[in-house]
Amino acid sequence: MGWTPLFLEMDNYKVLIVGSGEVGIRRTRRFLKAGANIVVIGNHVPEDLLNLGVNVKSPEEIDRWVVWADIVVTASADHELNHDVANISGKKLLNRADEPDKGNMIVPSSFFIGDVQISIFTGGKSPLMSKELRKKIEKVIKPEDVMQLELQSFARNILKMKIDDQKIRKKCLYNILEDKKIQLLLKEGKLEDAKVYVNELITCI
């Protein structure tokens, strides 16, 4: 199967989580944070999730909730139940947390550094290496890199109002990226000063 990374707008998507163990609850929190409506088939769902609107249903109702769902996640310790749910899910988006290669959707290890979201997928070969790679990435990306992202967005919005030619805008953004004074300001954590300086540079164009 050929996998490709995608980001999905989850607002108001309906997600069925089968299983309320560690993995199931982790998936529940992740999809809930993205704005999805969640139903969990399980016994022990933390009270904070119930207060946030997560619904808990019994396995006897599972056929009904598979039909309801846009996305189905199988994360139960009951492998037979996972298999049955996968079979009745048909062509729905299916995340097999128990056997990732048997589903058609992967939920990768994901984390934020500032506004940058980074996902790691090892093809199910090594969850341990996902954690180790995350540690290495977090060491490489510095605070000034995240501030440069904010600064580029700031500059890009101004340039769009002043310059129609995309190639010229791109050249300007590269100049901002490579500007030594800007690099120093960001290294010192002076993002607002860098914005003032960039605004002055763009005004002179």
Residues 105-119: pLDDT tens digits?
Answer: 999 989 999 889 999
Q: What mean pLDDT comes out for the span 44-70? A: 95
C-alpha span between 48 and 131 (Å, rounded)? 27
The pLDDT, as a whole number, for residue 122 is 87
pLDDT above 90 as % of the chain: 87
What is the average pLDDT value for the chain, to the nearest integer?
A: 94
Residue type for position 169: R
Q: What one-character-per-residue DSSP string does 9-53 give?
A: --TT-EEEEE--SHHHHHHHHHHHHTT-EEEEESS---HHHHHTT
The pLDDT, as a whole number, for residue 1 is 55
Q: What mean pLDDT comes out for the span 68-83? A: 96
Q: What mean pLDDT comes out for the span 125-139? A: 91
C-alpha span between 18 and 24 (Å, rounded)? 7
Task: Kindly report the number of other CB atoms within 10 A of residue 42's CB atom.
Answer: 19
CA distances from 98 to 106, 131, 205 (A): 11, 19, 57
DSSP secondary structure code for residue 122 in this structure: -
pLDDT of residue 59 exceeding 70, the answer is yes
CB 175, CB 150: distance < 8 Å: no
